[in-house]
Amino acid sequence: MSIMNALVTTSFGRASLLLIAALAATLVFALYLCLIALAEPLLTVRDAFARSDFIVVLGGDGPPRAAKAAELWLAGMAPRVLVSGDGDCLYIRDAMIAAGVAGTAITIECRSGSTRENAELSAPILAQANVTSATLVTSWFHSRRALASFEKACPRIVWRSYPTDSPHRFLNAAFSHHGPAIAQEYAKSAVYALGDLARGIQGTDKPAGWCAGEPA
């Protein structure tokens, strides 16, 4: 009987662990779906079409970002384009040229490896061109963090956001290769916000030079 009791207890324990694991997985998946469903209102900034001095397209998800930037340039949004980001800056430039954008209209910045560096390394290029307005092109779920980074790096420029299109159904995003990146964007946004707060307290986040209002 003692052996039977031990077997029953062991089986019950294993079943309990499996049930707990299944419940935990269900809760995690439900949370994941909630994050994806809320991504459009929480993570996205999509301004109306307006003419700008520059289109600034960020690297990281090259094909859709290049296509959107080319579409906007061909529609007359801006005469110039700045491609910012290491890794796929040359691909984005070449893809835009293949889509009909004049190569002479494109400037590239291929050193930045993060959204904050995109902003900080793009700012002096735009300052040298005396840019007063610019439109950011990035992935739709990355647009709010990107816009905040560029506004902080160069508040003298009027920034707008015109990101890639989001899926018509959130389940399409949830089960695409973008799904994990969308979920991670919440954590990245929180890290950036805390970093900006820390730099603000230390007084190290202030823009300099032309972006701060000094003469070019």
Structure confidence at residue 14 (pLDDT): 75
Q: In this structure, what token pair is assigned to residue 134?
A: 């610019």
Instruction: In whole angstroms, give the CA distance from residue 118 to residue 151.
Output: 12
Answer whether residue 13 shows pLDDT above 80: no
Structure confidence at residue 199 (pLDDT): 80
The matching CATH number, chosen from 3.30.420.40, 3.20.20.70, 3.40.718.10, 3.40.50.620, for 41-165+174-212 is 3.40.50.620
User: In sequence order, which residues have a C-beta less than 8 Å from that of residue 59 and are 6 or more positions away?
Assistant: 65, 83, 84, 85, 86, 87, 88, 89, 92, 112, 118
Residues 130-179: tens digit of each pLDDT: 999 999 999 999 999 999 999 999 999 999 999 999 987 878 888 888 89
Count Cβ atoms within 10 A of the Cβ of residue 105 and give its class: 0-12 exposed, 13-18 middle, 19 or more buried: middle
Q: In this structure, what token pair is assigned to residue 192?
A: 């950036």
Neighbour count for residue 3 (Cβ, 10 Å): 7
Strand ranges, E, within 20-156 = 54-58, 80-84, 106-109, 133-137
Structure confidence at residue 7 (pLDDT): 44
DSSP 83-144: EE-TTTHHHHHHHHHHTT--GGGEEEE----SHHHHHHHHHHHHHHTT--EEEEE--GGGHH
Domain parsing of the chain, residue ranges: 41-165+174-212
Answer whether residue 191 shows pLDDT above 60: yes
- Is residue 216 a contact partner of residue 128, using CB atoms and an 8 Å limit? yes
Q: State the average pLDDT for the chain.
A: 89
Structure confidence at residue 70 (pLDDT): 98
Strands 54-58 and 133-137: parallel
Instruction: In whole angstroms, give the CA distance from residue 104 to residue 97.
Output: 9
Q: Which amino acid is at 69?
A: A
Q: In this structure, what token pair is assigned to residue 206?
A: 């202030």
CA distances for 20 relative to 8, 11, 13, 26, angstroms: 18, 14, 11, 10
